Amino acid sequence: MKIAILDDTLDSIRHLACFARLAGHEVRIWNDHTKDTDTLAERLRDTEALVLIRERTPIRAPLIERLDRLRLISQRSVYPHIDIDACTRRGIVVSSDMHPGHPSFATAELTWGLVIAAMRGIPRQMAALKAGGWQTMLGTGLRGRTLGILGYGRIGARVAGYGRAFGMNVLAWGRAGSADRARADGHEVVGKEALFERSDVLSVHARATKDTAGLVTAADLARMKPTALFVNTSRAAIVEPGALVAALEAGRPGMAAVDVYEEEPVPGGAHPLLAMENVVATPHIGYVERDGMEAAFSTIFDQVLAFAAGKPVNVVNPGALGARGA
């Protein structure tokens, strides 16, 4: 099969051990990022199997309708960036392993890296030391403080467990199912207003869907303490556009740590959060970790091989099966 892999900006995929599974197939890897439909249509015109890295590139009907040879899209996790109906109409199978019970440990770990970096001012202290200075601020410890988890799913539950290990009191807010899980884990479940008012560190772990877009509002952020830290390693769209920058400028919360942005990659580093001293920011590296990538792409490539063998797995749109010889 002719296989294309988009958005491998680190040029890392071909160095994974699992990449050898595609031996015998014609593989083209693109190391840049584009959302331009004309450019993508030209690049993918002969592609039979398309491999996606998370949600980096939207695959919508205007593009899908121009990809006459495409038969499979293989990826992992949620798929709000793919027009499933358009794929089904065109007989394009979408295979996506949802890996139930297996959280992104890498994202949970990075969340805590950001929390500690922000609360102790590590980037600022490093910059001062490299510039010939010494201690520049009085940081804040975590023990005895309150951690709020917005969205108690697989990653949120793991972050809450890490918070407990640091001696923090954990609050949770989410839908009925996740609230029940939080209670079962021994955490206090509160209303949304109380979560923002009481948390010293508030970490977002909700999926980006049409229902969660703008879930965190300016009014929510305004309820936070001036000493509090807001953390987002999920998706930027969960926060109301412009609300976090305005809230930080107003002093509630006092700090933020972010790994996600409205437009990725951030064009030319031109994002207002990156210019703020009270923000710790990383370039969406939550899931970008060797073991996690190996596990994810092992599954993604196995989906490609299963399709090539005529036995597709993890099919999101079974209505596409049988069309165009799938």
Over residues 227-241, the mean pLDDT reads: 96
Point out which residues pair with 216 in neighbouring strands: 239
The closest of 73, 36, 27 to 54, measured between CA atoms, is 73
- Same structural domain, 247 and 170: yes
Instruction: Give pLDDT, residue 261.
Output: 95
- Same structural domain, 215 and 134: yes
- Same structural domain, 37 and 74: yes
Instruction: Give pLDDT, residue 323.
Output: 67
Instruction: Give pLDDT, residue 188.
Output: 97
- Same structural domain, 216 and 112: yes
Q: Taking a C-beta distance cutoff of 8 angstroms, is the pair 255, 230 a contact?
A: yes
Q: Taking a C-beta distance cutoff of 8 angstroms, is the pair 12, 293 a contact?
A: yes
Joined tokens for residue 248: 């930080």
- Same structural domain, 60 and 198: no
pLDDT tens digit sequence for 69-88? 999 999 998 899 999 999 99
- Same structural domain, 78 and 141: no
Q: Taking a C-beta distance cutoff of 8 angstroms, is the pair 233, 204 a contact?
A: yes
- Same structural domain, 71 and 181: no
Instruction: Give pLDDT, residue 214.
Output: 95
Catalytic center residues: 235, 264, 284
Instruction: Read off the CATH number of the domain in which 34 is found.
Output: 3.40.50.720
- Same structural domain, 183 and 276: yes
Instruction: Give pLDDT, residue 208.
Output: 80
pLDDT tens digit sequence for 236-282? 999 999 999 999 999 999 999 999 999 888 988 899 999 999 999 99
- Same structural domain, 75 and 119: no
- Same structural domain, 269 and 238: yes
**Residue 211 — pLDDT band, cuts 50, 70, 90?**
confident
Instruction: Give pLDDT, residue 265.
Output: 87
Over residues 205-214, the mean pLDDT reads: 88
Question: pTM for the whole thing?
Answer: 0.89
- Same structural domain, 91 and 130: no
Cα separation, 88 vs 59, whole angstroms: 13
Domain count, the chain: 2
| 325: pLDDT strictly greater than 60 | no
- Same structural domain, 126 and 213: yes
Q: Taking a C-beta distance cutoff of 8 angstroms, is the pair 311, 287 a contact?
A: no
Which range of residues forms the domain containing residue 128? 105-281
Instruction: Give pLDDT, residue 324.
Output: 60
Q: How far is CA 219 from the centre of its chain?
A: 24
Q: Taking a C-beta distance cutoff of 8 angstroms, is the pair 194, 221 a contact?
A: no
| 286: pLDDT strictly greater than 80 | yes
